Every structure is written in C-alpha cells, then in structure tokens.
C-alpha cells in the first residue's frame, strides 16, 4: 500500500518467477471463478489444494487471496464501479475475477509491493483469455495505486469523522491508513451504514442490525475483526495429550502457540501450519480443532459421569466428544444427526479421540422420540446463520438474508421444543448457536419459555468457565471483538 508502481519492478517479476506465486494467483482465479458461480469457498479451496499441491508460502498466498477477495467482494466491486466506465457486475465475469485478485493484493496485502500486484495481475489477464483487456487492467490498477498514494499523504484531520462516529479506524478497514480517500473515491455521499458496508464489505442489512445492537463504534470493531484471517484453536484431549508436550511440538512448526485465557483446555495457534491431518498429535487423538467459544458450550452443559446426555445436532462431533471427555468417558452420550454421512464424520472423530461412551443415532431431531424423558442433559447446537463465524466462512455474509433468518428461526424453535421432550424432570437443556442475530438467540429462547411454562433459565454458577460471560438475563453471549473468539450465544434451561 502506498508504494510506487515503478519501485522494485524488476525484482517483483523475478520474485514471482522464482517463487511460484504466479501459479498461486492463477489458482486463486480458478477458485474465485467457481465461488462466483455458486461454489462454497471452503469446499472449493480444499478441492483445488488437493489437486494442486503448493509450497507453504504459496499455499498461504492462495488461501488469503481467495478468502480475502470473497470477504471483501463488495469493497472490490465498489472500487471497480468507481474506476471503470462499466460497473463491476457489468464486466465480463473472468475480468471481474482477475481484477479482484489484483485489487485485493493492492488494498489489503501490505507485504506485497504494489508493483508486483499490478504486474502479475496483468499477466493473469493475458493468461485467462483477456489479452485484449490487459491494458485496461494495468490502467485501472495503476490509477488505484496513484489514488492511494495521494490519500496516504493527507492526514485527514477531523473531517474523517463526518459526524457519524466513523473516524480514523475506518481507513484501516478499507486498507487506507488514517484517511478516507478510498471511500471518497468509491461513494462520497453514503450514510454510516453504507460507509461501513462498503468499506468493510458487509451487506447493509447486517451492518444496520449490528449498529442497532452494538452502536456504530463497536460495529466497526466487529466488522474489522470479522475480516481478519481466523486463528486456529485446538481443544487438548487431556486423556491422551498435555499442554506442555503439544506446545513444545507445535512450537517447531513456525507458528505462535498460546493458551486461551478462560478456556481450560484451549490452545491457540496463530495460523494453520498446513493440512490439519498432518499436524503432530492429530492421528493420536491428542487434540481436536474447536474454536474457544465452541469449547465453552461443553462447560455450560456440565455433564457428570454416569449421566445420559444427548447432542441433537451432533456433526461433526466436536461437542459430543467434549461432553464425553468431561464425563470421563463414563455414561452415555447420544450423538444424533439428520444425515448418515455426517455421522460418519462424528464416528471418525470418536475413534481418533479414543472415546467409547458415544452412541450414534440417525434422525431428525424434530421427530425422534426414542429418548423422551430419559436424558439428564440435552444439547441443541442449532443450525443457524453462522453470523458469529463470518471470518471462518468467507462467503456466509453473502448467502444469508433477512428472509433466510426467518426460516432458520422457525427451524430452531421446532428443534428446541422437540428437544425438551428428551429431558427428564429436573434435567437441563442447553441451546447454543454461532450467530449474533437476536432473533435466532434470545428471540427463540423467549418464545420457547412463553410456550413452555415448565421451564426456566438455569443461571450459571460462579466457577464455571462461562460465568464471566453471563448477562443479566442469564444467557451467555460471546462477542468476537470483545473476547477474541467466534461469536456465540448459549443458555441453559432447567425443567422444573
């Protein structure tokens, strides 16, 4: 950012030829093309990496460009809209994809010289049937760099604020430090929701929702957090591994390893050092990948040895296995899921982690009645919009809508009502989601309690790891930019 297009031009080209980063960029073009055609970003990335092994450095560039360009799609399109005669959506699909690869590097990858981003993107255009438009690509990217260089020389002053609470931090959201030159270039008259939506690349309806929940200042922090590459959290299996041994082994993989405050068995890696299955301790079942906030769900359920516990939306099995570990693998854990193929993934994790107390059950949680009134504790980790994990699922922000949320709320309410039948008198029912949407969270719980007078919120006792996060109403909410974890909601209910 802010580097001259002419600087290091020769060295940039030599670096790309020797390092293979051009092939990583071409693979990114292939991936983005498939995502734009409806493919799921994580599925596309995994498939292409399996077919095209890359060195570690190129693998990181590929994944960052693909996931980053998908996350930042609205911002990148807005830049094209501002700099080209035709809108982004009016451009040939291949051209839009190639431009996204170049624009993302210029705006958000500070370690890549602007010259390298421009030159390699022009080559991508030539190599993807767009040789006739290579000059257009070159001119658009060079103009953007000039605009950013001009903006970087302006300290912005107080005029950045504009009276809407979006100040200097906003520049970092779009990759321009301490000024909003890029924003003025794209849309100079947007309101605060539009400015945050374009600058941080979120749909307006979602930004407006968060502004209503958290206010403008915190919404900006949340948007910024959701656009960062996700860290990798592990849950240590104390029955097979230890913090000390894993810290020592993983510390040799060129990653920063740290324990997660407030999460008893949580270990955080700064990034993934490569394929998960090849990491030390994976095959031996010494750990599972599980975000810190998801680990907290098990502590809220608080299963005891010898109890009958059910996980009604079990796949891929991380929470089921955690419940069994907390019980010392003594008792019964019923892992229910609607799809047999997803239960196979649960079984793989159960076998790898050395758990014997988990039983698989295929069926729809709304219909299965086999265990009615027989469970001490039931977990409903409900299907949800995933709006608390948008940094992990780059395309999720574009797949959800207010209408899809309404459909999910109905499904969540039906599953929770059915799960209540499984719980014996005096038993506990935990409802959790990885979304921040109030309708999917407290809205579902309030509707359930209104329709089921025999239930009440069971407040968490002091000493439980989730106690510091409990709100006055008795439920627990994890807000990503506050706790540095995925966004989660969870509440424990008691059958009275």
Q: What amino acid positions are annotated as catalytic residues?
A: 434
In contact, 20 and 55? CB cutoff 8 Å: yes
**Rounded distance, CA 338 to CA 415, Å?**
12
Ramachandran quadrant class, 283 (left: phi over 0; alpha: psi -120 to 50; beta: rest): alpha
Residues in the chain: 496
**Rounded distance, CA 325 to CA 236, Å?**
10
Q: Which residues contact 203 (CB under 8 A, 6 or more apart)?
A: 74, 197, 397, 398, 401
CA quadruple 150, 151, 152, 157: dihedral sign: positive
Q: Which helix (H) or strand (E) holds 212?
A: helix 204-226
Q: Other CB atoms closer than 10 Å to residue 277's CB: what's the count?
A: 8
Q: How far apart are the first and last CA of the chain?
A: 60
% helix / strand / coil in the chain, to the nearest 5? 50, 15, 35
């Amino acid at each position: 950012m802010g580097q001259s297009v002419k600087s290091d031009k020769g060295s940039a080209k030599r670096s790309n030829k020797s390092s293979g980063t051009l092939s990583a960029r071409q693979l990114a073009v292939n991936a983005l093309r498939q995502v734009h055609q409806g493919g799921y970003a994580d599925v596309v990335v995994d498939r292409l990496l399996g077919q095209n092994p890359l060195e570690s450095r190129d693998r990181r560039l590929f994944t960052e460009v693909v996931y980053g360009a998908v996350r930042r799609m609205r911002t990148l399109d807005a830049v094209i809209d501002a700099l080209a005669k035709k809108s982004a959506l009016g451009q040939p699909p291949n051209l839009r994809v190639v431009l996204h690869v170049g624009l993302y590097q210029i705006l958000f990858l500070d370690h890549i010289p602007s010259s390298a981003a421009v030159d390699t993107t022009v080559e991508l255009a030539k190599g993807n049937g767009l040789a006739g438009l290579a000059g257009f690509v070159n001119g658009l990217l060079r103009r953007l760099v000039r605009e950013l260089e001009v903006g970087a020389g302006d300290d912005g002053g107080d005029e950045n604020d504009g009276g809407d609470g979006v100040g200097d931090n906003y520049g970092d959201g779009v990759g321009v430090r301490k000024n909003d030159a890029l924003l003025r270039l794209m849309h100079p008259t947007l309101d605060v929701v539009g400015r945050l939506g374009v600058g941080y690349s979120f749909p307006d309806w979602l930004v407006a929702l968060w502004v209503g929940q958290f206010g403008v200042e915190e919404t900006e922090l949340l948007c910024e957090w959701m656009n960062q590459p996700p860290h990798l959290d592990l849950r240590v299996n104390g029955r097979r591994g230890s913090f000390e041994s894993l810290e020592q082994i993983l510390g040799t993989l060129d990653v920063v390893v740290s324990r997660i405050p407030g999460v008893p068995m949580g270990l955080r890696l700064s990034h993934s050092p490569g394929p998960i299955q090849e990491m030390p301790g994976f095959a031996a079942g010494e750990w599972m990948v599980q975000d810190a906030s998801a680990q907290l769900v098990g502590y809220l359920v608080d299963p005891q040895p010898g109890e009958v516990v059910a996980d009604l939306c079990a796949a891929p099995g991380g929470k089921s296995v955690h419940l069994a570990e907390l019980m010392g693998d003594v008792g019964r854990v019923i892992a229910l899921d609607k799809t047999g193929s997803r239960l196979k993934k649960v079984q793989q994790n159960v076998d790898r982690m050395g758990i014997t107390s988990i039983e698989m059950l295929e069926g729809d949680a709304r219909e299965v009645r086999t265990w009615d009134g027989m469970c001490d504790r039931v977990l409903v980790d409900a299907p949800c919009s995933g709006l608390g994990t948008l940094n992990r699922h780059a395309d999720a922000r574009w797949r959800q809508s207010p209408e899809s949320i309404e459909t999910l709320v109905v499904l969540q309410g039906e599953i929770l009502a059915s799960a209540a039948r499984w719980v014996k008198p005096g038993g506990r029912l935990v409802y959790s989601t990885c979304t921040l949407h109030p309708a999917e969270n407290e809205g579902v719980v309030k509707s359930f309690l209104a329709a089921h007078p025999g239930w009440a919120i069971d407040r968490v006792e002091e000493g439980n790891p989730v106690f510091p996060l409990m709100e006055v109403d008795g439920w627990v909410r994890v807000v990503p930019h506050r706790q540095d974890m995925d966004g989660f909601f969870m509440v424990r209910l008691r059958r009275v």
